[in-house]
């Protein structure tokens, strides 16, 4: 389980692959809250067929075993030829800016390495580009629209 160093006054968080179905449900609920309610993505486009085979990840308040302590999520899809695609990276608004997103990404990358992926790609919303750049992802290609939100493809070799 990835752990986090914390500044004074900020709760500790940890990230891990989803194990229990209650964790998976909590992860999906966070996606609905962040992408559908906050970013107005159509609800029918949020959960998709990739969710069935994807590896899902959660970030939670450290030591909080109950699903109510889950504050962030991400997923990893196998695109073949050693390429994994990270997506649906979301942290509840009240827990942002505390390193939770970075903690989640490190957890996904560790699992991706363990599964034999050699390259990770993602489609970054433009506002999140600096977040991914700090984690070593490099943008390529033109800006494109997905659900009316501007994105760019980003890539990182593991
Ligand atoms: C993008 C998101 C996951 C980042 O999560 P977070 O927990 O706030 O990020 P962290 O606190 O771990 O930030 C890690 C670093 O990235 C930086 N960062 C995070 N979001 C940033 C942003 N929007 N612009 C610039 N820098 C950003 C932080 O300042 C921090 O930098 P530091 O290491 O120098 O301190 C979160 O803002 C979110 O859920 N947004 C809504 C959903 C979304 O848009 N997801 C991305 C879809 S592509």
Q: For 33-80, what is each residue's pLDDT tens digit?
A: 999 999 999 999 999 999 999 999 999 999 998 899 999 999 999 999
* Ligand 1 pocket member 59 (CB < 6 A): no
> Do the domain assignments include residue 89?
yes
Closest residue by CA, ligand 1 atom 46: 89
What Å distances lie between residue 63 and 1, 48, 69, 75, CA to CA? 11, 31, 9, 22
157 inside domain:
no
Structural domain contains residue 74: yes
Number of domains present in the structure of the chain: 1
**Domain that residue 78 falls in:** 2-118
CATH number at residue 43: 3.40.630.30
Measured by CA distance, the residue closest to atom 41 of ligand 1 is: 90
Per-residue pLDDT tens digits for 78-89: 999 999 999 999
Q: Is residue 9 in a domain? A: yes
Per the domain annotation, does 131 fall within a domain? no
What pTM did the predictor assign? 0.96
> Residue 138 — φ and ψ, nearest 5°?
-120, 130
Distance 54 CA to ligand 1 centre (A): 22
What pLDDT is recorded for position 109? 98
Tell me if 68 is assigned to some domain: yes
Reply yes or no on whether the pLDDT at 127 is more than 80.
yes
């Amino acid at each position: 389980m990835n752990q986090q160093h914390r500044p004074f006054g900020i709760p500790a968080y940890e990230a891990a692959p989803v194990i229990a179905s209650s964790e998976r449900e909590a992860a999906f609920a966070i996606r609905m809250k962040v992408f559908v309610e906050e970013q107005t993505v159509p609800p029918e486009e949020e959960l998709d067929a990739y969710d069935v085979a994807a590896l899902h990840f959660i970030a939670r308040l450290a030591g909080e075993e109950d699903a109510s302590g889950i504050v962030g999520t991400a997923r990893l899809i196998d695109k073949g030829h050693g390429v994994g695609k990270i997506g649906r990276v979301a942290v509840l608004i009240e827990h942002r800016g505390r390193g939770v997103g970075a903690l989640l990404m490190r957890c996904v990358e560790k699992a991706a390495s363990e599964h034999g992926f050699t390259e990770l790609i993602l489609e970054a919303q433009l506002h999140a580009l600096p977040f991914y750049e700090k984690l070593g992802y490099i943008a390529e290609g033109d800006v494109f629209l997905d659900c009316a939100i501007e994105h760019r493809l980003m890539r990182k070799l593991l």
